[in-house]
Amino acid sequence: MTTETNQAPLVKMSGVNKHFGQFQALSDINIDIPTGQVCIVVGPSGSGKSTLCRTINRLETIDNDGGYIEIDGKRLPEEGKALAALRADVGMVFQSFNLFAHKSVLENVTLGPIKVRKVPKKQAEQEAMEYLDRVGVGEQARKLPAHLSGGQQQRVAIARALAMKPKVLLFDEPTSALDPEMVQEVLDVMVDLAAGGMTMVVVTHEMGFARKAGDRLLFMSEGAVVEDTTPQEFFTNPQTARAQDFLSKILTE
C-alpha cells in the first residue's frame, strides 16, 4: 500500500482550444487540478484568464477538436439537465458580483439550494444564514444587494456559491471591482476557504493572497499557460521573458 492516491483530478483540461471567430483565446490548455488545490491564475489583460475560468463551468463552449474538460472524472455535458447539474457542482464568483438584483441577500443564497438541490426552504434558510455569518454579512440578510457595499456584496456572492456545496470554486478577479479598503475583507474569506480545503481556481493579481493561499500558479499569455509553478517560485524566479516582463509591470504599479 502506498499513500499515493491514484484518484482522478477534480478538474482536468486536456488539449483545450477556444476560438472567438478567427481569434484564438485559449490554446492547448492541459491542466489537472487535484482536490483541495488552490490554483492561482495570473497574466496580462486579454491573456485568456476569464475565458479559462468560464470554460470550466461551460459559460463558454470549447472548440470541438478533441480537447475536453472533466470535472470529478465526468466530461462536461453539451447542454441541458446534465450540464445544469454539473454547473451546480462548480461555483463561480464574478468580478462584478452579479447578485440577483431583485432578491434579498438571503434569497440570493437560498435560491440555488431550493430550486436546484431541492432542499426544503426552512433548511436552506438556516444553512444560508450559517454561510452568511461565516462570511460576516449575516446582519444584512434581509436587505437588497444594492444596499450593500461592494465588499459585502462579494462576500454574499461567495456565500451563494458555497451554499451549493460545490466541488470547486472559480473566482474571476473577485477583488478587481472593489474599492481598495474592501479588498482585504474579501481576501480574508478566501484565505479561510483555502485553509478549509476548498478546491479553488482564482484569477487574481493580489500577490499577497497568492503567496499566502496559493498552492500553484499558472501564468497565462496569449491564451496559453506559459508557466505552471508555485507562487513563491513565480514571484521570485520567473522563467520566461514574458513572465519577467509581466512581473516588472505589476510590481511598478
Partner 1 sequence: MEDILFLFEQYPIFEGFWTNIKLAFWSSISAFTLGVILALFRISPVRSLSWLSAAFINLVRNIPLTVLVVMAVLVFWGQLQISLHSDFNTNFFLLATIALSMYHAPFFAEAIRSGVNTVPLGQAEAARAIGLGFFSAARLIIIPQALRGAITPIGNTLIALIKNTTVAAAGSVLEASGVMRTMIEFNPNLMVAIFLIIAIGFSLIVIPVGLITTWLSEKLAVTR
Ligand X SMILES: Nc1ncnc2c1ncn2[C@@H]1O[C@H](COP(=O)(O)OP(=O)(O)O)[C@@H](O)[C@H]1O
Interface ranges with partner 1 (CB under 8 A): 57, 59, 80-81, 84-92, 94, 96, 98-102, 111-112, 115-116, 144, 146-147, 157, 160-161, 164
Q: Residue 109 phi/psi, 5° resolution?
A: -80, -35
Crossing angle of the two packed helices 105-115 and 150-163, in degrees rounded to 10: 20
Crossing angle of the two packed helices 121-134 and 150-163, in degrees rounded to 10: 130
Binding mask 42-81 for ligand X (x = CB under 6 A): -x-xxxxxxx------------------------------
Crossing angle of the two packed helices 180-195 and 150-163, in degrees rounded to 10: 20
Question: Is 242 a binder of ligand X (CB under 6 A)?
Answer: no
Based on CB atoms, which residue is closest to Mg ion, 50 or 154?
50
Based on CB atoms, which residue is closest to ligand X, 128 or 169?
169
Binding mask 9-48 for Mg ion (x = CB under 5 A): ----------------------------------------
Question: Is 176 a binder of ligand X (CB under 6 A)?
Answer: no
Closest approach of partner 1 to the CB of residue 64, in Å: 17
Based on CB atoms, which residue is closest to ligand X, 3 or 45?
45
Burial of 68 (0-12, 13-18, 19+ CB in 10 A): middle
Based on CB atoms, which residue is closest to ligand X, 46 or 120?
46
Question: Which residue type occupies 142?
Answer: R
Its sign, for the CA torsion 117, 118, 124, 125, is positive
d(CA 104, CA 101): 8
